[in-house]
Amino acid sequence: MAVASSSAEDQRTSPTQAVKSEPIALMKQVWQLALPVIFTNLLQSLVDVIDVFMVGRLGPIAIAAVGLSSAIRMLVLVMLLSVAAGAMSLVAQAKGARDPARMSFVTRQAISSGVLLSVGLMGFGLLMARPLLALVNSGGEPEAVELGVQYLQILFLGTPFLVLNIVFNRLMQGAGDTVTPLILTGSLNVLNVLLNFVLMFGIGPVPAFGVAGAAMGTVLARGLGVGVVFYVIYSGRNVIKLLPGSYRPDWQMFKDIFTIGVPSGVQGLFRNGSRLMVLGLV
């Protein structure tokens, strides 16, 4: 009887113990997803810092050129992040519904919308690089503007590579895979730094391109990164899988992506736009 009573008591208390353990298990899952995202963002910031250190070896004018260009790059980046944020939310919904066909559809439309947006931004950047840099420079060193134009126009040529890397990372994170973007970002950053060093300072038969070399290295690394991500997704080994289907724009899906993502993009636009204005005044 005592054994039976003890067993019954364990059964009565076990639900309470389970309830108490649920927050701990949930917190563990949250950190398992969040930590790789945190480190991914840190790595993305770290490569910019390393670039500044390397550019510093080219002199103060080079640092000024990259600094002015970075302020404009951030405005473009927040626009691209709006697409990624919308796609990330929609693919997370599809993953929760266990609908792989919907996930693939969202992925294809995110690629299409990102490419269209990046082409528009690329054209805008190539045309407006000089006026924007002159505005931000506010009567400073004209040489910084000239170097900045070279640097910024090369980066704008690689805008499609930038947007595809961002979109793919956010799609995988939205589907619950935060480790693969961390690995890809870390590898891409190492390649970026190596290419920047080679193209900035020259090694062997490779000439030194200076500030322009920093932009070339970044674009090349992003292009190779896109190739690797496409391989990962098309291989079927990732949670994001591209099933057969059309990349033709679906305007309702475009609307859904931008409806979700634009508010965060506008917020970032105002934040970075104000910094750009302050920089111009200084």
In which band, very low, low, confident or very high, does the pLDDT at 18 lie, cut at 50, 70 and 90? Answer: very low
pLDDT band at 125 (very low <50, low <70, confident <90, very high): confident
Count Cβ atoms within 10 A of the Cβ of residue 196 and give its class: 0-12 exposed, 13-18 middle, 19 or more buried.
buried
User: Per-residue pLDDT averaged across 51-60, rounded?
Assistant: 84
pTM of the model: 0.80
User: How confident is the model at residue 281, as a pLDDT?
Assistant: 52
pLDDT in tens, 72-83: 887 777 777 777
The predicted structure's pLDDT at residue 226? 92
CA separation, residue 68 to residues 43, 145, 267, 278 (Å): 22, 8, 21, 12
Q: How are the residues of the chain apportioned to helix, strand and coil, as percentages rounded to the nearest 5?
A: 85, 0, 15
Half-sphere exposure of 176 (CA within 13 A, CB side): 10
C-alpha span between 243 and 187 (Å, rounded):
26
* pLDDT above 50 for 164: yes
How far is CA 100 from its chain centroid?
A: 23
At residue 206, φ and ψ (nearest 5 deg) are -80, 120
What pLDDT, on a 0 to 100 scale, did the predictor assign at position 275?
A: 57
Rounded to the nearest 5°, which phi and psi values hold at 99? -120, 85
Considering only residues 114 and 37, tell me which one the structure prediction assigns the higher pLDDT.
Answer: 114
- Span 2-15, mean pLDDT? 48
Q: Quick check: 242 pLDDT over 60?
A: yes
Q: At what angle do helices 142-157 and 211-234 cross, to 10 degrees?
A: 20
- Mean pLDDT over 178-190 rounds to 89
Instruction: Provide the pLDDT confidence category of residue 256 given band limits of 50, 70 and 90.
Output: confident
Contact partners, residue 33, CB within 8 Å, separation at least 6: 173, 176, 178
Residues 5 and 15: their CA atoms lie apart, in Å, by 17
Which residues have a Cβ under 8 Å from the Cβ of 256 and sit 6 or more positions away?
Answer: 86, 90
* pLDDT, position 273: 57
What's the pLDDT tens digit per position in 22-35?
A: 777 777 777 777 77
Q: Identify the domain containing residue 138 by its residue range.
A: 2-281
Task: Say yes or no to pLDDT of 271 above 70.
Answer: no
For residues 181 and 173, the answer to whether their CB atoms sit within 8 Å is: yes
Q: State the pLDDT at residue 279.
A: 52
DSSP state of 207: P
Number of separate domains in the chain: 1
